[in-house]
């Protein structure tokens, strides 16, 4: 969440623009309006040069750490699509503040979700405008573990868990897919760890073994957990948390 090394200072209106607070003209007007404070001091000069290292803005009372790349964690609730153009449900992006949706980054706007969760799936969703991080987390080559809490229609057996770990043949896949770990946690519940990201993978694997997923929650990505984050809430990831995704 630190600015890039080559730029150490920037005009206030440009900082606002790069953080996603609107067009350059809108950010110039925003700065002039007195809506921005730095360290509790009102800033009305759009051209005022600010040091970027550790810079935190307050915009209309909203606390905003200035960062070169934005990476956040969202606790996705059920009934939301991980799409910029949702069809049947509202978009998860509607749960984020406008600046995160409007950040100008190499021809695109805003943060992008790292993979997707189905509309009825809940849990940990990462979003970033860091293209390198997005690629690394989404690539199966890097085998970032994702942990799911699964509730099934029929009882979970040890045989089911063993089969998920050993590998399941899915329609359209050239070779079996398998879980890194599968553990029964209740009569109709199991914890499943995957390092792949196939379409509807958990649901398809369980269905291929004659059972059915009735509830699905992602509780962990890499070393990150929701750690008490409420459904629909989001928060920034700190540098040390980003390191856990390596």
**What pLDDT was estimated at residue 244?**
77
pLDDT the model gives residue 167: 94
- Mean pLDDT computed over 76-86: 95
Least confident of 50-54, 93-97, 152-156, 237-241: 237-241
Of the candidates 97, 96, 98, 93, the residue with the CA atom closest to the CA atom of residue 81: 93
Q: Name which residue leads in pLDDT, 136 or 141.
A: 136
H-assigned helices in 70-182? 98-102, 131-138, 158-166
Structure tokens at 175: 């070779």
165 and 179 Cβ atoms separated by less than 8 Å? yes
- Cβ neighbours of residue 194 closer than 8 Å, sequence gap 6 or more: 145, 146, 148, 179, 180, 201, 202
Please, which pLDDT band fits residue 5 given cuts at 50, 70 and 90?
A: very low
Three-state secondary-structure class, residue 185: strand
- Residue 186 pLDDT greater than 80, yes or no: yes
Tell me the domains of the chain and their CATH numbers: 9-65 (3.10.290.10), 71-140+224-243 (3.30.70.580), 145-221 (3.30.70.1560)
Q: For the segment 109-140, what is each residue's pLDDT rounded down to a tens digit?
A: 899 999 899 999 999 999 999 988 888 888 77
What are the distances in angstroms from CA 177 to CA 119, 141, 169, 194?
23, 14, 6, 9
In this predicted structure, the answer to whether residue 4 has a pLDDT above a threshold of 50 is no
**Active site positions, annotated:** 118
Q: Which pLDDT value is given to residue 2?
A: 47
* Alpha-carbon distance values, 83 to 93, 115, 215 (Å): 8, 10, 21
The pLDDT assigned to 19 comes to 95
Residue 141 has pLDDT above 80, yes or no: no
pLDDT of residue 246: 61
Question: End-to-end alpha-carbon separation of the chain, Å?
Answer: 16
Say if residue 1's pLDDT is above 90. Answer: no
């Amino acid at each position: 969440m630190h600015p890039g090394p080559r730029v150490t200072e920037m005009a206030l209106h440009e900082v606002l623009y790069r953080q996603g607070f609107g067009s350059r003209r809108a950010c110039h007007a925003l700065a002039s309006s007195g809506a921005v404070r730095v360290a509790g001091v009102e800033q009305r000069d759009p051209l005022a040069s600010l040091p970027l290292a550790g810079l935190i803005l307050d915009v209309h009372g909203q606390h905003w750490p200035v960062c070169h790349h934005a990476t956040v964690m969202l606790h996705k609730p059920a009934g939301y699509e991980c799409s910029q153009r949702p069809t049947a449900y509202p978009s998860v992006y509607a749960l984020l503040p406008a600046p995160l949706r409007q950040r100008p980054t190499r021809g695109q706007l805003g943060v992008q979700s790292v993979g997707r969760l189905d509309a009825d799936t809940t849990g940990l969703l990462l979003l970033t405008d860091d293209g390198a991080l997005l690629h690394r987390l989404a690539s199966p080559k890097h085998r970032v573990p994702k942990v799911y809490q699964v509730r099934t229609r029929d009882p979970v057996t040890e045989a089911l868990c063993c089969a998920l770990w050993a590998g399941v043949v899915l329609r359209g896949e050239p070779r079996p897919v398998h879980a890194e770990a599968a553990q029964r946690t209740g009569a109709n519940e199991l914890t499943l760890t995957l390092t792949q990201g196939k379409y509807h993978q958990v649901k398809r694997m369980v269905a291929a073994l004659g059972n059915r997923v009735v509830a699905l929650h992602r509780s962990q990505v890499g070393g990150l957990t929701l750690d008490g984050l409420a459904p629909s809430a989001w928060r920034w990831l700190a540098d040390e948390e980003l390191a856990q995704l390596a």
